[in-house]
Amino acid sequence: MRAEHRVEAVAVPGAAASVLASGVVFLQPEEAVLDAMLSGWAAQQRSRLLSAGTVEQRELQVRRFVAFTNEYPWRWSPADVEEWSADMVSRGLAHSTVRGYQNAVALFLGYVTDRRYGWDQVCEQRFGTHPVQVLHEWNTAAHRSAVEARPGNRPLSREELQAFFDYCDEQVTRAGQSGRKGWLAAFRDATVFKVLYGWGLRRREAAKLDTVDWSANAAAPEFGRHGALAVRFGKATRGSPPRRRTVLTTMGWAAEAVAEWMTEIRPAYRVTGTVLWPTERGGRISVEHINDRFAAYRDALGLDKILSPHCLRHSYVSHLLEDGFDHLFVQQQAGHSWGSTTAVYTSVGSDFKNTALRRALDRAFIPEQ
Residues whose CB is less than 8 angstroms from the CB of residue 246 and which lie 6 or more positions away in sequence, other chains included: 228, 229, 230, 231
pLDDT the model gives residue 62: 96
80-131 pLDDT, tens digit per residue, is 999 999 999 888 888 878 888 999 999 999 999 999 999 999 999 999 999 9
Q: 152: pLDDT confidence band, cut at 50, 70 and 90? A: low
CATH number of this structure's domain 158-309, picked from the four choices 3.40.50.620, 1.10.443.10, 1.10.10.10, 1.25.40.10 = 1.10.443.10
Q: How many CB atoms lie within 10 A of CB 240?
A: 10
Average pLDDT over residues 223-229: 95
Q: 324: pLDDT confidence band, cut at 50, 70 and 90? A: confident
Average pLDDT over residues 275-301: 94
pLDDT the model gives residue 7: 32
Determine what percent of the chain is predicted with pLDDT higher than 90: 62
Q: 182: pLDDT confidence band, cut at 50, 70 and 90? A: confident
pLDDT the model gives residue 237: 66
Task: Tell me, rounded to whole angstroms, the distance of Cα 88 from its chain centroid.
Answer: 20
Asked if the model's pLDDT at residue 300 lies above 70, the reply is: yes
Which string of b and e fits 260-269 if b means at least 16 CB within 10 Å? ebbeeebeeb
Do the beta carbons of residue 254 and residue 201 sit within 8 Å?
Answer: no
Mean pLDDT, the chain, whole residue set:
86
Do the beta carbons of residue 18 and residue 10 sit within 8 Å?
Answer: yes
pLDDT the model gives residue 240: 67
pLDDT the model gives residue 361: 66
pLDDT the model gives residue 323: 86
Coil, strand, or helix at residue 234?
A: strand
Dist CA 291 CA 315 (whole Å)? 17
pLDDT the model gives residue 241: 74
The identity of residue 367, as a single letter, is P
pLDDT the model gives residue 2: 38
φ and ψ of 69, to 5 deg: -80, -25
pLDDT the model gives residue 4: 37
pLDDT the model gives residue 6: 40
Average pLDDT over residues 235-247: 78
38-77 pLDDT, tens digit per residue, is 999 999 999 988 888 889 999 999 999 999 999 999 999 9
pLDDT the model gives residue 203: 94
Q: Where are the domains of the chain?
A: 2-127, 158-309
Do the beta carbons of residue 333 and residue 364 sit within 8 Å?
Answer: no
140-150 pLDDT, tens digit per residue, is 877 544 444 55
- Long-range contact list for 60-69, CB < 8 A, 24+ apart? 61/100, 61/101, 61/104, 61/105, 62/38, 62/104, 62/105, 62/108, 63/38, 64/101, 65/101, 65/105, 66/34
pLDDT the model gives residue 351: 57
Asked if the model's pLDDT at residue 19 lies above 80, the reply is: yes
Asked if the model's pLDDT at residue 1 lies above 50, the reply is: no
